[in-house]
Amino acid sequence: GEGKGGGKKEKKARAFDWSNSYRRQVALQFSYVGWDHMGFASQESTENTVEEHLFKAMFKTCLLENKDRACYSRCARTDKGVSAMCNVVSIRLRSKRTKGLGVVPPEGPHEMSEECKDRAYWLGRGGGEEH
């Protein structure tokens, strides 16, 4: 029957505290089936793009505070209904790491350091090998 606590309690959304969050520039490799999407790249006049869903997921999981500080770069785009394999985006996300390549401390600089810009990486099956 309907006893105590029969309904689910609504959780209050708490604002995430970004002031103590380290960020790290990463490369995300992904594939997608584009049948139900309007292409990869977000556009002002187009909804339901793969990129839009990618950003929504990163906001929902608190990996990304806002697009302005994301240092975001994409390498490809597709048309409506087109699928893709091995797409890569570069983006600055929240990280547990406090040291290392691409790590930006809280309230740190918003641009990649010269040291990071001078390195090249191969992101194949071995992943992240410096060249």
Residue pair 68/55 in contact by the 8 Å Cβ criterion: no
Collapsed DSSP state (helix, strand, coil) of residue 53: helix
Q: Which residues are catalytic?
A: 79
What is the distance between the alpha carbons of residues 93 and 71, in angstroms, rounded to a whole number? Answer: 9
What is the distance between the alpha carbons of residues 51 and 54, in angstroms, rounded to a whole number? Answer: 5
What is the distance between the alpha carbons of residues 12 and 118, in angstroms, rounded to a whole number? Answer: 45
Q: Tell me how far CA of residue 125 lies from CA of 86, 101, 114, in angstroms.
A: 11, 20, 27
